[in-house]
Amino acid sequence: MAEVVADLELALEYQESYESGKPMEYEEILEMADREHPLVYTNKRELKLLLSSGILIDWGRRWFSLSKSEHNCEIISESEFSFQDPELIEWISDPKSRFSEVAKIERAQDLNIDVDVETMFLSLGITYAAYLVFKFYSDYSYLIEDAEVASEPTCVGLRYKLKEAGESSISYLADHTDDGWMVIELCQFVCYKKVAKLEVSLENFPSFYSILLEGIQFLPVEKQFFYLDKDGLKCCMQSARTVLKDNQCFRSISISQSRFEKVAECESGNDFHINCHINSHMLSPNTTYATYLVYRLPELSHGTFECPLEVKISDRFYSEDAKDHFIFLTSPKTMVIDLIKDDRDRDRVSQKNPLSRPKMDGVLKERKDGWMETEMTDGAAKTINREFALSLCDYSEQLTGLIVQGMEIRPK
């Protein structure tokens, strides 16, 4: 019974977060803010601007911020790490650090650091990546200061071991941030609870340089969004950057009404491919799911999008039950005519009504968030992995201006 209650509470928390589209923990976060630097704001908009820049919380051991999509981000200070040989660590200040002190290690070849940390405010249903935040150091100057050099990744070869892994891993490339640090990805996970635990052993870098450690950073991957529906069943929204990654006719743009930082806009062409892949364990078992294309049409489409799209299943997951079909991006219409009685009726403006097709495939509708959706297919969770080839039936037409937010996977 206790497990059922816990699942229902989690489902309610998911639903509140999903419907509001904004962080829920402002009050709790503000209670943990740094008392020496009080926040000054007069409304929620100003508060969001402050949180977007980031604030110190938890007695200076944690840095909280909001991403562009208003998802929660955290950095946990390196002061929470366990150093096997503390005498080799020197605590120094750094003007570019978010914390009062950072850890200086003389030899990056000998890290021997155990990280056992827990997040506090991550956004539910979001895929996060955990990064080590660091930079190489010498007694004379920081090794990488030139902006042009820092614009490209650096090969560093960090060896580390996650508790869940049976063997050590190597992460080779580190990216440079705008504030002068470097980040290297350790793992990814879906956040089902705002408290997520990370256990990892940092072994070594193949470098003789000293190193400065700032902490572990948790950032949203912005590829997919998980949530629970009103019945507690798992749902997923995959971004356009994920499902359209092999389509050259689309470009990435930013729209404030999207769940993701980037959406895809079609620049030309009359066909495209969708790759919808998700691990079955991320969905609820024994559940029939449907996949929906979430999109928006340009304001002036001039009837172009009334042409149906033919949908073909084009991958190894094809089965005999999955037949090619048609979908519409806008409701098809048919002309309404009157029997002409005299010449004056010829000046009447033509009218159109929705096309009468009781068995119309690809039913579309307007969503509560202002986007449109059309159903692509349905099936059991194990068959949700599909690759679709979509093409306009009239090859003289173009999909120019079509904006795709992504694919949503939810129970039928």
Give the separation between CA 321 and CA 318, rounded to whole angstroms.
Answer: 8
Question: What is the reported pTM?
Answer: 0.61
405 by Cβ neighbours in 10 Å (0-12 / 13-18 / 19+) ranks as: buried
Average pLDDT over residues 145-173: 78
Q: Where are the domains of the chain?
A: 2-221, 233-411
* C-alpha pair distances (Å), 110 with each of 83, 85, 122, 213, 394: 11, 10, 31, 13, 64
**Residue listed under structure tokens 């364990």:** 281
SS3 percent helix, strand, coil of the chain, rounded to 5, is: 15, 40, 45
pLDDT tens column, 65-104: 998 778 899 999 999 999 988 888 899 999 999 999 999 9
**b or e along 142-163 (b: 16 or more beta carbons within 10 Å of the residue's beta carbon)?**
eeeeeeeebeeebebebbbbbe
Average pLDDT over residues 362-373: 84
pLDDT, residue 286, reads 85
- SS3 assignment, position 52: helix
pLDDT, residue 305, reads 80
pLDDT, residue 116, reads 95
More confident residue, 57 or 247: 57
Answer yes or no: is pLDDT of 157 > 80.
yes
Give the separation between CA 48 and CA 45, rounded to whole angstroms.
Answer: 5
Residue count (the chain): 412
Answer yes or no: is pLDDT of 5 > 60.
no
CATH code that applies to domain 233-411: 2.60.120
The angle formed by the CA atoms of residues 261, 267 and 268, to the nearest 5 degrees, is 145
pLDDT tens column, 127-140: 888 999 999 886 55
DSSP, residue by residue, 226-288? EEE-TTS-EEEEEEHHHHTTT-TTEEEE--TTSSSS-EEEE-S-SEEEEEE---GGGS-TT-E
pLDDT, residue 317, reads 46
pLDDT tens column, 212-254: 999 999 998 877 777 888 898 988 889 998 888 667 889 888 8
Give the separation between CA 113 and CA 204, rounded to whole angstroms.
Answer: 9
The fold for domain 2-221 equals: Jelly Rolls (2.60.120)
Same fold for the pair 2-221 and 233-411:
yes
pLDDT tens column, 235-245: 888 999 888 86
Answer yes or no: is pLDDT of 17 > 70.
no
pLDDT tens column, 180-209: 899 999 988 888 888 899 999 999 998 768
Answer yes or no: is pLDDT of 372 > 90.
yes
Give the separation between CA 55 and CA 33, rounded to whole angstroms.
Answer: 7
DSSP, residue by residue, 61-100? TEEEEE-TT--EEEEEEGGGSEES-GGGEEEE--TT-SSS
- SS3 assignment, position 372: strand
Answer yes or no: is pLDDT of 14 > 60.
no
Q: Side by side, which strands form the sheet with 309-313?
A: 271-276, 386-392, 309-313, 325-327
Share of the chain above pLDDT 70, in %: 76
Amino acid at 400: T
Q: Which of 304, 102, 361 is nearest to 214 (CA)?
A: 102
